[in-house]
Structure 1
């Protein structure tokens, strides 16, 4: 019998998920899982609990929360044989959107159970993980305007999460009104670029901006490579142009957006900057060193999401 841990974030998302967690146990037990339940107390606790589950040879940790929770749990499972399984229940659920899962809400309370059933009997896969200044991330690591905004709004009270998109957009517009970008020096696999940018974001996945943008349409989760996107500009008008270009896909041909595939990267500036990883704020500075750890995380993915892998047969 396989052993799993349901690890849920009670503060994630627009609606409390705790009362629905026990309803996931029956379909997983029916599929041959022995399940335990734990509640996260903080991001650090989520990482530590996942790491402890890996040391105790659990087959999987089912992370119930948003992208921040997913990234924190993933951090505790790197280079172990315990798989990450994501049951989306957060404000934004871009990892789940990437894989075609429906997030939990009180109007879709059955989504937790349906997603658990999707993952109950799949073959484990391995995906890449990033390190930004030695902090793991699964989705993105960014500096510039997106990091500025995330540092302003996180952590959010639950009532703000009901207005997550307009709240994020309004805060971004406010920040862009008074903040005019950074002079950055960027190294990717030995190539050097410098310029003035509003955003520099490394992405491991296809979606960005809360899932509204397909920023890297051909990204693969297990190819040992990530994309560094550099968005130039110094004004609110530039920020708005980039937003609408990202949503419409025009960034792919814009001369104001540049994509640099990389295995290792370094971003530096004379001015200190904020950093975000997986939509959570982290300690900033004058330098961000980013590395790709090839196939360092074992995951359970829906069968329909295997097209996100370079070699799904592996």
Structure 2
């Protein structure tokens, strides 16, 4: 690496984390001889615009923020020869956890300095790319309720608090899913389309997912209301797919979802719209900079 741009979300994290990033950049310049430029976002979409601009003249673009910032940056890098790196400054930091990268921004910067580049698959929801996963129904409804200020003030607790009224109103929605042309029907509570294993940085819902297999993993929870959720969640924890009614695990290259009424959709933690929507895998579409000790399936 010689030419690097760091795209920082100044609204994410705290002053201590931003000082750690500044120190990491200083070490890159002095120890690695990297030419490092820093750009700060001001509004949604800036990170994608900046990444597209900087990809033309940089070897590496580093997203400094949460998973939403990383998603925006990678949307500007898909299909280019420029690699994506990440420094954790967010709430969940699921991508960083997926890589077993340090949650300390300075330590993470040092890991990247000694890292290696690999090609990985990405998912695509209509025109929006995602690195981790897409959620339809329950989790997207919760995501839509959580504001940036809530996450900054409460961290992950914000999702727990906002989930309670969403669960109270939860009802199954008649849904038709096409998995490479194979139909799956039922009353959907939650559908997860995953490119990676960790959900929320904690749960291995899509436990067979691999980011270089040319497939997306699809986990479906079908039921009538929130009363079915405990049974289904327990089934996920104990990997009871196919054994518990309403719980299925499939893999596909293209997934089409249509519902009797629009269900919300989120990708990598950002709300992007509602059903109907088509999802597909884009194999080997993104170069990522990984810590030296990280291996991707």
TM-score bracket for this pair, using the shorter chain length? over 0.9
Deviation digits for residues 23-43 of structure 1 (CA, Å, limit 9, x no counterpart): 112221212311111111123
Contact 1:47 1:76 in 2 (8 A): yes
Residue 39 of structure 1: aligned partner: 40
Give the match's secondary structure for 2:97. helix
Cα distance, 1:274 vs. partner? 1.0
Structure 1 residue corresponding to 2:162, chosen from 168, 171, 194: 171
The answer to whether residue 125 in structure 2 is matched with residue 132 in structure 1 is: yes
Counting matched residue pairs gives 295
Q: What TM-score does the superposition give when structure 1 sets the normalisation length? A: 0.88
Pairs within 5 Å for 1:110-149? 111-149=104-142
TM-superposed deviation, 1:6: 1.1
TM-score normalised to the size of structure 2? 0.93
- The residue aligned with 1:108 is none
- Aligned position for 2:174: 183
Is residue 12–residue 152 contact of structure 2 (8 Å, CA) maintained in 1? no
Which of 295, 301, 310 is the matching residue for 2:290? 301
- Offset at 1:47? 0.3
1:255, distance to aligned residue in structure 2 (A): 3.5
Are the structure 2 counterparts of residues 11 and 217 from structure 1 closer, same or farther at C-alpha, using a change threshold of 3 Å?
A: same
**SS of residue paired to 2:294:** helix
Contact 1:213 1:249 in 2 (8 A): no
Please state how far the C-alpha of 1:20 moved relative to its aligned partner: 3.5
Gaps of 5+ in 1: 104-110, 310-314
Are residues 1:291 and 2:271 paired?
no
SS at match of 1:295: strand
Q: C-alpha displacement at 1:283, in angstroms?
A: 2.1
Partner Cα distance (1:289, 1:195) in 2: 18
Equivalent positions of 1:57-206 (< 5 A) are: 58-103=58-103, 111-153=104-146, 155-157=147-149, 160-206=151-197
User: Which of 235, 247, 252 is the matching residue for 1:262?
Assistant: 252
Partner of 1:312: none
Partner of 1:106: none
Which deviations, in whole Å up to 9, do the C-alpha atoms of 1:64-94 show, x marking residues without a partner?
A: 1111111110000000011000111100111
TM-aligned CA distance change 1:88 to 1:249, over 3 Å: farther
Cα 1:16–1:151 change in 2 (3 A) is farther
In structure 2, the partner of 1:238 is: 228
Matches within 5 A, 1:208-287: 208=199, 210-246=200-236, 248-252=237-241, 254-284=244-274, 286-287=275-276
More displaced, 60-69 or 114-123? 114-123
Q: For the residues of structure 2 that align with 1:194 and 1:183, how far apart are their CA atoms?
A: 8
1:114 aligns to what SS in structure 2?
helix
Structure 2 unaligned runs (5+)? none
Structure 1 vs Structure 2 CA RMSD: 1.8
Kindly indicate whether the alpha-carbon contact (under 8 Å) linking 1:87 and 1:115 is maintained by their aligned counterparts in 2: yes
